[in-house]
Structure 1
Amino acid sequence: MALGSGWRSAALALLLLLLGVLQAGAQEGILAAFSNGTASTIKEFCIVYNSQWMPFPKSLRNATLYQLQDLTNTTLCNSTDVPPEGIKDNLVVVMRGNCTFIRKAQIAQMNLAKALVVASVDSIFPPSGNQSDYEELKIPVAIISHIDVLSMEKMLGKQISAALYSPPVPPLDYSILIIFIIAVVTVALGSYWSGIEDPSSGNSATSDYRAPTSGGDKSEALSATLTPVTVVVFVIVCSVMIVLLYFFYKWLVFVIISIFSLAAAISLYNCLAALVKRIPYCKCKFPFHNRRIEIRLVLLGVLCVAVSAVWVVFRNEDRWVWILHDCLGIAFCLNFMKTLKMPHFKSCVILLILLLIYDVFFVFITPFITRNHESIMVEVAAGSGSGSGEKNTGNNLMELAVQPLAHNEKLPVVIRVPRLVPSVATLCGIPFSLLGFGDIIVPGLLVAYCRRFDVRTNASSIYFILCTIAYAVGMVLTFVVLILTKMAQPALLYLVPCTLITSAVTAWSRKEMKMFWAGSGYEMINPVGTSEEAVEAH
C-alpha cells in the first residue's frame, strides 16, 4: 500500500471538490400539533425553514396556535387550487412540486392564510428563492416530511391545531472548540511530520531542497510538488468540479464517496505505518515477488481497509459514525501535507491567493449569478445542488449550517462535530458544525513548507511555530465572524492573510526573504553549520 501516483491523483481530485465553508447554527424548527386545539394530546414534528424569511417564535409559549388545514391533495401553484371554503386564518399544508416555494407562499398569503407548511416525500431542506420575492412574505413558511403529516393525522385525527416555533441555538457551542483543536493540531502535526526524517527511506526533510541525483528521484519529486503552473491548473479544475457538483450532485456524490474511501484507507495506513515501523518487535517477513514484506504491515493494511469499509456502510449513521469519519479525515489531511511538497514560498502565495479568490467567489459572488440567488459553495457543502425548489425534482437548498436532515448523501470532505441542540436534535437529527478539509490542507501546505525551511536553515522552528500560531489566530477570527454574522464563512478568507503575512514578515525580518521565496532553487553551502550563505542551484 505504498503511496504512489494513483493515490496522489485521487487525493488531488478529492481536495478540489470543496475547500470548505465553516458552518454552525440551525434552521430546524418544531411543529407542535394538538388534538382538537387542546393541550391534552400533543405531538411534535421536525420542520425546516429559511431563517432569512419570516422568523419563527423561539418557544411554544410565544407561538400562535392555528387550525391546521390539510391540502396535501394539491400543490397550491394556482389560485384555483384554493378550496371553496378558503384558507383564511389557517395553517395550510400543501404538497411540494410544480412551482417554487415562493409561489406557494404568495398564493397562501393572498388568500389570508396565517402559515404555510410544504410536505415533501423527498429529503427536506429549507426553502429558497429570490430575495426580492421573499422580502414581501408576511407568513412563516416551513418544510415537513409527508410521512410526518400522515403520522400526525393518524395519531391526532382530522381536527388538528398546530403552532410553529424554533428553539434558539446558543452562539457558542463546544463543537467550535473541538473543531478548532482538530484543525490546529492536524496542521501542526502534519507540518511537523513533513519536516522530520523518515527512517524507513533514509531520506530527511532537507533532501526535498537538494537537486535530484537520478532521473527516478526527479520524477518522484515532481509527482509530489505543486509548481506555479500546476497550481493554476489545479484551481481551474477546482472551479469546474464544484460547478459540476452543483448541477450533478446526485450522481457525483457517489464518485466522491468512492474516492474518499480509497484515499482514507491509504492515508490511515501510511499514518499508522509510520508509527508501527518504529516498534522494534514483531518484524516477521514473508517473501513476495522478490521482496520481503512484514506481516504486521499486511495486517495493518487489512485493518485500514476494514475501517474504511465500515465507514462506507454506516456513513449515514450520524449519531456515532462522525467520530470514525473525522479520524479518517484527519489521517487524510496528515498524509496529504506529508506527501505534497510546496517547492517555494512563491508557489504557496499563488496557491493560497487563487484558492482564496475561488472560495470567496463561490460563497459571496455566485448568489448574484445563480437563478435562485444562492451560494454554490454553501449549497454543495450542505449536500444539495441546483433545482432548489424551483422545479418538482431535485433537492432544496440549505443555506446555513446544519447537515441535511434526511438520509441523502453528503460530501465526505469536511470535519463534522455535532452541536448541542437537544430539543431539536431529537426530532430533526443531529446538527453539525463543519470545516472543509481544504481549510486544513491549503494553509497546512504553507505551514509544512515553513517547517521544512526551518530544517534546511537550522532556524530552530521559528517559521513553523509562528505560522502555526497565525493559523490558530485565523481560525479564531473565522469563529468570531461566524458567531457575529450567523452566516457560513469561507475560512480561507481569514486563514490565508494570517499565514501569508506572518510568513512573509518573519522572512523579511530575518533577511531571508530571497531564499524563502525561491525555496528549492537555492542550496545551503553548509545546511547543518552556522553559515547562512546560499547559492543558486540551477
Structure 2
Amino acid sequence: MVHVFSEKGSSKGKDYCILFNKHWAHLPHDLGKASVLQLQDQTASVLCSPSDVPDGGFSNRIPMVMRGNCTFYEKVRLAQINGARGLLIVSRERLVPPGGNQSQYEEIDIPVALLSYTDMLDIGKSFGRAVKVAMYAPNEPVLDYNMVIIFVMAVGTVAIGGYWAGSRDVKKRYMKHKRDDGAEKHDDETVDVTPIMICVFVVMCCSMLVLLYFFYDHLVYVIIGIFCLAASIGLYSCLSPFVRRFPWGKCRIPDNNMPYFHKRPQVRMLLLAVFCIAVSVVWGVFRNEDQWAWVLQDALGIAFCLYMLKTIRLPTFKGCTLLLMVLFVYDVFFVFITPYLTKTGESIMVEVAAGPSDSATHEKLPMVLKVPRLNSSPLALCDRPFSLLGFGDILVPGLLVAYCHRFDIQVQSSRVYFVACTIAYGIGLLVTFVALALMQMGQPALLYLVPCTLITSFAVALWRKELAMFWTGSGFAKDLPHPPLVMAPVSCHPSSTEATAPTSPKEAEEQIINSTLLAKELSSPQLCTEEPRSPPLSAEELTDPNMQTEQPKTSMPHIEEPAEQKNNNPQSKSLEAEKSQLD
C-alpha cells in the first residue's frame, strides 16, 4: 500500500494499492514505521536514460515515472544512483510485481512498486502535486469472515445435492419399474460415468486449462457463454419442483409445430424458463459489477452444481475412487508443479482461476464461488478483493456423497455413509482453509478433500463389513422389485397319489391353490424334520357354514391319507396354517 496525504495537511490521507517485489527491498508492515517522503512527479518521462533525470536528482524523494521502454532494473538503478529512496512506476496495464534476477536484487536496496494509472490520476485530482507518501506492506489477515460464507455454501451444496441425487435416483428406478408413463413421469435422465468417460473428461480438462492459459482473452467469452446456458438450465431444474406445486398456470399452450413448443408445455413452466434465462442474461451483462454481481454468480453456480450432481451418477465406489484420484493428481500438478514449467513461475491453475495478470480483457472465469472480503483490511483495495472456490472442488467430492446416499437407501443403513462423507468433506474444506492461511498461496482443494472423503467412506464400509458391495455397487440390486416366484411342487416323500386333470372350474381353482401352497411348504429346508402335526380340514368342512369360525372364501381340496400317516405327516399342520392365512 502507498499512503498519500497532502503536504499542507488540509485533507485526510488515503491508501492506494501497489504491487512490489520484496526481493528488491523490504517494506515495513506497519504504517507508523514507514518513512514519510515527498513524492516527485516525473510521469512525463520513463526514466530509462540519464537524460530523464532532472537537475538535482531525487534527493530523499520518491520519483513517480511511467512504465515502458526499458527494464525495471534500469529504472530503479537510475533512481538509486540519483539519490531516490524508492520508486513508483505508473502502469496503464494490469499491475504485476516488478521482476529481476538475483544479481540485480543484490545491487538494489530501495523499494520499487507499480501503481495503476487510474490511481495516479486520482492522486493528482485529490491531493494536487505537493504530496507526501509512505509505502508499507500490511499483513494479510489469517482468516477472513467470507471463508465462513464459502464454507456454508460449499458444504450445503454438497449435502443438498448428494441427498437430492440419491433420493431421485431411487425414485426414478421405482417409476421405471412401474412403467409410469403419466403426467408425473420425470423427464430428467441421469448419465452413468464409465472409466473411459473419466479418462476423456480429464484429458479435456487438461487441454482446456492449457488453452485458457495461452489464449485466455479469446476463450474466456466462450466459457462465460457456456456458463450462462448451463446455469439457466440448472436454475430451471432446481426451481421446477417448487413451481409444479403452484395451483395456477397449469393450462398448456395450443398445438403448434415449433421445435420445443410442440410438446405443449404448461404456461407456468414456460414462464419459469423465461425467468431463468433472464437471470442468466442479467448476470452476463452486469458480471463485472463487483458490488452485487457476485451474489447472482454464486446463486447460478450453486444451481449449476445441484443440476450436475443430480444428472451425473457414479455407479460404483470403484468409479468414484478412479475419478477422485485422477482429478487429485490433476489438481496438484497444475497448482504445485506447473510453476516450475512456466516462464513467470506462476501456477497455471491459479493464474487461470484469478485471470492472467497480462489479460487485456480483465475478465474473470465464472466457474467459481466468490465472496468479497468482509474485514477492513487495506488489501481489499487491491486486485484480490474476493475469495474463490472452484466448482470442481464441490462437484467432484459431491459425486461421492451422492453415491453414498444412494447406497444408504439401498442397504437401509440410516444414511450413515451419507452423513459420514458429508462431515468428511467439511473437515477437508477446513483443512484447506488452514493450509491457505499458513502458506499464503492458492491451494489445490482436492489435495485435502479427496483423502478425507475417500478414506472416510472406505472406513465406514469396512466397519460395517459391506466393502465388497460398496466397492461394486451390488447393493443397488435390492431396489428392483422381484418377479413373482412360481415353483413346481416337489415332495420330500414319494406320493402314491398322482395329480389328475380338473373336471370343473372349481376343482381347477382348488388344484392351483393347493399346488401353490404345497410348493411353498416343500421349498422350506425344515420341511422334512418338523414334528408331526394334525391333518388339514377337508374342503367340505371348510365350506360348511356350521363349521366356519371365520369367513373363508376359498375352498381347499381334501387330501386323503392313510390312517397311520394322518398323525405323522410333517406337512399337515403347516399346510393348515397356510390355508388359513390364504382364507
Which structure 2 residues correspond to residues 328-407 of structure 1 after superposition, within 5 A?
Answer: 328-384=300-356, 394=359
Deviations 1:114-152 (A, max 9, x none): 222221223335445667865875333322222332343
Q: Give the letter aligned to residue 337 of structure 1.
A: L
Matched, 1:477 2:449: no
Matched, 1:92 2:92: no
Cα pair distance change 1:336/1:79, threshold 3 Å: farther
Cα pair distance change 1:50/1:159, threshold 3 Å: closer
Q: Give the letter aligned to residue 4 of structure 2.
A: A
Cα pair distance change 1:512/1:75, threshold 3 Å: farther
Matched, 1:490 2:444: yes
Number of aligned residue pairs: give it.
Answer: 470
Deviations 1:316-348 (A, max 9, x none): 111111111111111111111111111222221
Partner of 1:390: none
**C-alpha contact (below 8 Å) 1:127/1:142 kept by paired residues:** yes
Partner of 1:194: 165
State the percentage of identical aligned residues. 50
**C-alpha contact (below 8 Å) 2:19/2:95 kept by paired residues:** no
Deviations 1:28-72 (A, max 9, x none): x2331423xx43345525223257554433443222112222232
Cα pair distance change 1:142/1:481, threshold 3 Å: same
Deviations 1:291-329 (A, max 9, x none): 331111111111111111111111111111111111111
Partner of 1:72: 43
Cα pair distance change 1:352/1:105, threshold 3 Å: farther
| C-alpha separation in 2, matches of 1:522 and 1:470 | 23
- SS of residue matched to 1:197: helix
Aligned-residue offset at 1:381: 1.6
Which structure 2 residues correspond to residues 102-141 of structure 1 after superposition, within 5 A?
Answer: 104-105=75-76, 107-109=78-80, 111-127=82-98, 138-141=109-112
Aligned-residue offset at 1:178: 0.8
Partner of 2:267: 295
Which structure 2 residues correspond to residues 51-450 of structure 1 after superposition, within 5 A?
Answer: 53=23, 54-77=25-48, 81-83=52-54, 85-101=56-72, 104-105=75-76, 107-109=78-80, 111-127=82-98, 138-197=109-168, 204=171, 206=173, 224-289=191-256, 290-384=262-356, 394=359, 408-422=362-376, 424=378, 428=382, 431-450=385-404
- SS of residue matched to 2:215: helix
Cα pair distance change 1:288/1:326, threshold 3 Å: farther
- SS of residue matched to 2:265: strand
| C-alpha separation in 1, matches of 2:128 and 2:299 | 47
- SS of residue matched to 1:287: coil
Q: TM-score, normalised by structure 1?
A: 0.78
Aligned-residue offset at 1:358: 1.4
- SS of residue matched to 1:118: strand
Instruction: Work out which of the residue numbers 25, 36, 39 in structure 1 matches 2:9.
Output: 39
Aligned-residue offset at 1:527: 5.8
Deviations 1:420-471 (A, max 9, x none): 2446378558811111111111111111111122222222211111100100
| C-alpha separation in 2, matches of 1:471 and 1:131 | 42
Structure 1: where are the runs of 5+ without partners?
1-28, 213-219, 388-393, 396-406, 530-538
Bigger relative contact order (CA 8 A; separation at least 6): 1
Deviations 1:487-531 (A, max 9, x none): 221111110100011111112222222222223x775256689xx
Instruction: Work out which of the residue numbers 467, 474, 482 in structure 1 matches 2:421.
Output: 467
Q: Give the letter aligned to residue 411 of structure 2.
A: T
| C-alpha separation in 1, matches of 2:300 and 2:130 | 50
Aligned-residue offset at 1:230: 1.6
Q: Tell which structure's C-alpha radius of gyration is larger.
A: 2
Q: TM-score, normalised by structure 2?
A: 0.73
| C-alpha separation in 1, matches of 2:254 and 2:35 | 76
Q: Give the letter aligned to residue 441 of structure 1.
A: L
**C-alpha contact (below 8 Å) 1:451/1:464 kept by paired residues:** yes
- SS of residue matched to 2:254: strand
Cα pair distance change 1:173/1:81, threshold 3 Å: same
Partner of 1:524: 477
| C-alpha separation in 1, matches of 2:396 and 2:107 | 42
| C-alpha separation in 2, matches of 1:496 and 1:340 | 18
| C-alpha separation in 2, matches of 1:103 and 1:473 | 50
Q: Give the letter aligned to residue 260 of structure 1.
A: F
- SS of residue matched to 1:254: helix
Deviations 1:255-287 (A, max 9, x none): 111111111111111100122224455422223
Q: Give the letter aligned to residue 497 of structure 1.
A: P
RMSD: 3.3
**C-alpha contact (below 8 Å) 1:319/1:430 kept by paired residues:** no
| C-alpha separation in 2, matches of 1:442 and 1:383 | 23
| C-alpha separation in 1, matches of 2:22 and 2:317 | 42
Q: Give the letter aligned to residue 424 of structure 2.
A: A
Cα pair distance change 1:172/1:347, threshold 3 Å: same
| C-alpha separation in 1, matches of 2:218 and 2:343 | 22
| C-alpha separation in 1, matches of 2:106 and 2:415 | 54
Cα pair distance change 1:378/1:524, threshold 3 Å: same
Answer with 361-370 or 64-73: which moved more: 64-73
Structure 2: where are the runs of 5+ without partners?
180-187, 257-261, 483-583
Partner of 2:511: none
**C-alpha contact (below 8 Å) 1:209/1:523 kept by paired residues:** no
Partner of 1:535: none
Aligned-residue offset at 1:99: 4.7
Cα pair distance change 1:432/1:91, threshold 3 Å: same
Aligned-residue offset at 1:173: 2.2
Which structure 2 residues correspond to residues 504-515 of structure 1 after superposition, within 5 A?
Answer: 504-515=458-469
Q: Give the letter aligned to residue 412 of structure 2.
A: N
Cα pair distance change 1:506/1:426, threshold 3 Å: closer
**C-alpha contact (below 8 Å) 1:242/1:377 kept by paired residues:** yes
Cα pair distance change 1:259/1:315, threshold 3 Å: same
| C-alpha separation in 2, matches of 1:263 and 1:470 | 29
- SS of residue matched to 2:264: strand
| C-alpha separation in 1, matches of 2:409 and 2:106 | 57
**C-alpha contact (below 8 Å) 2:410/2:478 kept by paired residues:** no
Instruction: Work out which of the residue numbers 427, 451, 456 in structure 1 matches 2:405.
Output: 451
